[in-house]
Amino acid sequence: MNSGESAGPLAGLRIVEVSSFVASPLCGLTLSQLGAQVIRIDPIGGASDYRRWPVTAGGESIYWTGLNRGKHSLSCDFRNPESQKLIQQLATAPGPGGGIFVTNAGGRDWMGHETLSALREDVITLEILGKRDGTAGVDYTVNAALGFPQVTGRGGGEVVNHVLPAWDIACGLHASTALLAAVRRRDQTGAGSQITLPLEDVALATAGALGYLTEVMVNGRQRQATGNAIYGTYGTDFVTADHARFMIVALTNRHFWDLVTLTETGAAVDALETALDTDFRVEGERYEYRDALTALFARWFRRHSAAEVSDALRKSSVLFEQYRSFTDVVESDALETNPLFSPLEQPRIGQYLAAGHPARFDSRHLSAAPAPVVGQHSAQVVAEILGLDDDEIAGLFERGVIG
């Protein structure tokens, strides 16, 4: 249906999604960019996130169109038993690449795994939940209950929510990975899968794997807020003479001693090392004494302009970036000159530079077509997948089964 679809590594796969918000649409977007055919099924008029901010001056959702690029849209009346049967048929249509259904709108028996697997034994279903008990939970509540806001920012009772919905993103990408794992099992053994993926468990598993929870269990204490300093190594931000801000990271000995040389603090750092009876070749010691080191380094940054700082850092091994705003990024040539981005003419939104899939496959970026209008492909989807003829399709519209 899209130009370019057949070119991706997932050509031949078809995913049907009943999805909203971030995680589930991101799963579908990713699979679509990798070449799968992704069919959204929405209530007529769109689900509750169809107008979600950011919106254009005309009220069209930049958010919704961004996450649903390249997908096909069929809309129907979810309360109508005939529509429910149609959704079941689309989710379980035959073919080795079909029979894959993703939703974050579970709890409905008529589109549950049991119902669908009775229609197609090897169906793969993936249901994204909020909390593991099936109750609602969103990125911002899951994050509050887990502990990150308390160690973000400067601490001292301050609690800072993240802005990026990091758990939604991790959940959507865990979903795409898990689905493809299930597809491989089916390709190899013929077995379907019932997958459930709670947003809450994505956050807990990640916090566990990265040590945030484990250090409490093992060491009996958690890490503290460190402002913009990176935990466990040397890295923090500095302000220049002309009020620009830089993030500096020195992970290795080479990075660190390059930073010392560059900031002309060799004698002071040596003296500090001796006085404190420590060894700055050890990463953990650089972290322990980060505030004293930062105070020494900061003087050099305060006495040089952003241009001078950039030039000097570029000649060293130190990892760095100047802080930028979203506007700075767009106004730089960072998007124009990056082949990840290409101009997209998005109906209702306008033309903008849209990102493709972040990976290059065989030196090529995979991008995606514009997002549909809800219901744009209703007739086409039932014709192509269920083989309905024009009269049958007209009847579906007349009876309000599809819209």
Stretch 315-334 residues interacting with its own copies (CB under 8 A): 317, 319-330, 334
Residue 136 near its own copies by CB under 8 A? yes
Phi and psi at 124, nearest 5°, equal -110, 120
Q: Between 89 and 316, whose beta carbon lies closer to its own copies?
A: 316
Q: Between 99 and 381, whose beta carbon lies closer to its own copies?
A: 99
Task: Catalytic residue, from 168, 291, 362, 390: name it.
Answer: 168
Q: In 3D, which of 342, 367, 345 has the Cα closest to residue 353?
A: 342
Phi and psi at 106, nearest 5°, equal -75, -160
Tokens of 351: 């033309």
67-106: contacts with its own copies (CB under 8 A): 67, 69
Q: Left (φ > 0), alpha (ψ -120 to 50) or beta: where does 21 sit?
A: left
Dihedral angle sign, alpha carbons of residues 391, 397, 401, 403: positive
Instruction: Give the binding-site size for its own copies (rule: CB under 8 A).
Output: 146
169-188: contacts with its own copies (CB under 8 A): 169-171, 173-178, 180-185, 187-188
To its own copies, the closest distance from the beta carbon of 274 in angstroms equals 23
Q: Distance (Å, rounded) from C-alpha 300 to C-alpha 284?
A: 24
Q: 101 forms bridges with which residues in the sheet?
A: 16, 125
Q: Between 270 and 331, whose beta carbon lies closer to its own copies?
A: 331
- Residue 138 vs residues 108, 145, 184: alpha-carbon distances, Å: 19, 11, 30
- The piece of 27-35, 102-110, 259-267, 271-279 that touches its own copies (CB under 8 A) is 27-35
To its own copies, the closest distance from the beta carbon of 40 in angstroms equals 15
Residue 13 near its own copies by CB under 8 A? yes
Residue 116 near its own copies by CB under 8 A? no
Q: Between 154 and 399, whose beta carbon lies closer to its own copies?
A: 154
Helical ranges in 92-219 per DSSP H: 113-119, 139-146, 166-189, 199-209, 214-219
Return the residue of 55, 272, 312, 379 that touches its own copies, per CB under 8 A: 55
To its own copies, the closest distance from the beta carbon of 253 in angstroms equals 9
Phi and psi at 210, nearest 5°, equal -85, 0
- Residue 221 vs residues 218, 224, 228, 234, 366: alpha-carbon distances, Å: 8, 9, 21, 21, 45
Return the residue of 112, 115, 122, 146 that touches its own copies, per CB under 8 A: 146
Q: Distance (Å, rounded) from C-alpha 222 to C-alpha 116?
A: 45
Q: Distance (Å, rounded) from C-alpha 331 to C-alpha 379?
A: 41
To its own copies, the closest distance from the beta carbon of 234 in angstroms equals 11
Residue 306 near its own copies by CB under 8 A? no
Residue 138 near its own copies by CB under 8 A? yes
To its own copies, the closest distance from the beta carbon of 7 in angstroms equals 11
Beta carbons within 10 angstroms of residue 316's beta carbon:
16
To its own copies, the closest distance from the beta carbon of 81 in angstroms equals 25
224-253: contacts with its own copies (CB under 8 A): 227-228, 230-233, 235, 237, 245-247, 249, 251-252
* Catalytic residue check, 237: no
Residue 141 near its own copies by CB under 8 A? yes
Residue 267 near its own copies by CB under 8 A? no
Q: How far is CA 42 from the centre of its chain?
A: 22
Return the residue of 6, 360, 389, 400 that touches its own copies, per CB under 8 A: 360
Residue 289 near its own copies by CB under 8 A? no
To its own copies, the closest distance from the beta carbon of 76 in angstroms equals 21
DSSP state letters, 4-49 = TGGGSTTTT-EEEEE--TTHHHHHHHHHHHTT-EEEEEEETT--TT
Task: Summarize the chain as % helix, strand, coil (round to 5).
Answer: 40, 15, 40
Residue 281 near its own copies by CB under 8 A? no
Q: Distance (Å, rounded) from C-alpha 368 to C-alpha 31?
A: 10
Residue 312 near its own copies by CB under 8 A? no
Residue 302 near its own copies by CB under 8 A? no
Q: Between 228 and 305, whose beta carbon lies closer to its own copies?
A: 228
To its own copies, the closest distance from the beta carbon of 270 in angstroms equals 23
Active centre residues (catalytic) = 168
